[in-house]
């Protein structure tokens, strides 16, 4: 049940991350705003994610895991309540800011606990991340329907319903308990703290590997959400796609979901470092096809395949982090890493919007290729694991 609830939380986060893409054109028309102004939803999310990441590291030492998880759901409920009536744009972006705080805390706690649950952790992480992909797959299907309705913002009522259910489940299953008590309830031993004069926060901030992984995840999540978000606008404007182009985003997120499951055996066979490099190179090749081949169907297939090869990247990065970060600070460290990563999901789409306002949406593909190439460079800087899986 604990594993199921964590997967439900990941589903909700994926649903949230993938909702913006099909709704961006409708936001622009509803509020009569430019690319750069509508991109403020991303920048306010980014600020929220950063604040949430910092709060998570600090609060993890003072508030129990179960309380933090339930609190994050309540913060998300407040955000979606603000967003659902399509309020004035300043209030609308405030909703994204509040949601960023809640999402960063929730993602940090879920991933931090997930990798301490025992058993086949790599498979569990892959399944939980596939749950994120499932949420991201469903979201554009729902958002595309709402985008052509009069009350387009009622899409956020669906998100509100999902996080409300999660709030009830997290409170019922984790019972506001500490991570150690939750582990004990499923028969796992305590994780002993290493001898150190430094607080967990200082120890986390002093580790070079934490910041390298955070920078890599920042690029990955930012690129992932940019593809899922801005590709719809790119297809509409550059390939003369109609309003139904929103379904292309679902193809991308479907690829993410499938890649995190069906490529597990290949990941094990290739090894983490080689698999990561190969997947990013394949994604670059496919994105170049989208860039230079003016075919609506061909581009839709290529975008879906990009999702397939992007799928395993986050689980592989989490697997690597478990082998190089001390276990007693892992929850706080993974909170910082994923919080910074979620900031990327806002910052890079905002940069994309600003560039699109200046030179047009055609700038999307070269930006994505550049981000992926930088990811390969960052991956080679990530330290090699110091202990077995």
Round to whole Å and give the CA distance between 44 and 217.
19
Round to whole Å and give the CA distance between 7 and 20.
21
Round to whole Å and give the CA distance between 374 and 385.
21
User: What is the per-residue pLDDT for 309?
Assistant: 94
The first and second tokens of residue 369, run together, are 């290729």
- Residue holding tokens 């309380």? 67
pTM over 0.85: no
Widest Cα–Cα separation across the chain: 61
pLDDT tens, position by position, 253-262: 889 889 988 9
Q: So what's the architecture of 2-184+199-381 in CATH?
A: Up-down Bundle (1.20)
Q: How many residues does the chain have?
A: 389
For residue 324, CA distances in Å to 113, 209, 212, 228, 273 come to 17, 7, 12, 31, 14
Is residue 196 over pLDDT 60? Answer: no
User: What is the per-residue pLDDT for 197?
Assistant: 47
Residue 109 banded pLDDT, cuts 50, 70, 90: confident
Indicate the range of 72-86, 111-125, 286-300, 315-329 predicted with least confidence.
Answer: 111-125
Name 358's Cβ contacts closer than 8 Å, sequence gap at least 6: none
Round to whole Å and give the CA distance between 174 and 181.
9
| Nearest Cα to Cα of residue 56 among 318, 325, 343, 382 | 343
pLDDT tens, position by position, 1-58: 888 999 999 999 989 877 877 788 888 888 888 877 887 888 888 888 888 888 887 8
pLDDT tens, position by position, 337-356: 877 777 787 788 878 888 88
Spatial contact of 295 and 202, defined as CB atoms under 8 Å apart: no
- Residue holding tokens 């913006």? 20
- Residue holding tokens 């030179």? 359
Domains of the chain, by residue range, sit at 2-184+199-381
What average pLDDT does the chain have? 84
């Amino acid at each position: 049940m604990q594993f199921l609830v964590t997967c439900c939380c990941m589903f909700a986060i994926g649903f949230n991350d993938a909702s913006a893409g099909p709704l961006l054109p409708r936001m622009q028309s509803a509020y009569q705003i430019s690319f750069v102004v509508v991109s403020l939803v991303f920048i306010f999310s980014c600020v929220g994610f950063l604040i949430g990441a910092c709060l998570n590291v600090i609060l993890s030492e003072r508030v129990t895991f179960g309380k933090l998880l339930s609190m994050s759901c309540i913060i998300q409920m407040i955000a979606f309540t603000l967003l659902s009536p399509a309020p004035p744009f300043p209030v609308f972006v405030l909703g994204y800011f509040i949601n960023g705080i809640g999402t960063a805390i929730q993602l940090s706690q879920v991933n931090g606990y997930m990798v301490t649950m025992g058993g086949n952790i790599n498979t569990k992480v892959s399944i939980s991340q596939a749950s994120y992909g499932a949420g991201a797959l469903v979201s554009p299907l729902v958002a595309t329907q709402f985008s052509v309705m009069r009350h387009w913002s009622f899409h956020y009522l669906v998100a509100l319903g999902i996080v409300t259910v999660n709030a009830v489940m997290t409170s019922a299953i984790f019972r506001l308990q500490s991570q150690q008590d939750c582990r004990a309830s499923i028969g796992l031993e305590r994780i002993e703290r290493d001898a150190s004069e430094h607080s967990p926060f200082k120890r986390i901030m002093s580790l070079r590997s934490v910041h390298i992984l955070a920078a890599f995840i920042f690029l990955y999540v930012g690129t992932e959400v940019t593809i899922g978000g801005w590709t719809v606008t790119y297809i509409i404007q550059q390939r003369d796609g109609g309003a139904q182009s929103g379904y292309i985003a679902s193809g991308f997120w479907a690829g993410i979901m499938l890649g995190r499951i069906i490529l597990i055996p290949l990941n094990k066979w290739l090894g983490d470092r080689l698999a990561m490099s190969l997947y990013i190179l394949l994604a670059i090749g496919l994105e170049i096809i989208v860039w230079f081949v003016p075919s609506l169907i061909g581009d839709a297939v290529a975008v879906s395949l990009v999702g397939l090869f992007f799928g395993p990247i986050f689980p592989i990065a989490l697997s690597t982090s478990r082998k190089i970060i001390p276990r007693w600070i892992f929850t706080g460290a993974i909170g910082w890493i994923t919080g910074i990563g979620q900031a990327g999901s806002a910052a890079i789409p905002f940069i994309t919007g600003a560039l699109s306002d200046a030179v047009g949406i055609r700038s999307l593909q070269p930006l994505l290729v550049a981000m992926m190439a930088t990811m390969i460079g960052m991956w080679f800087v990530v330290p090699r694991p110091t202990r077995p899986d």
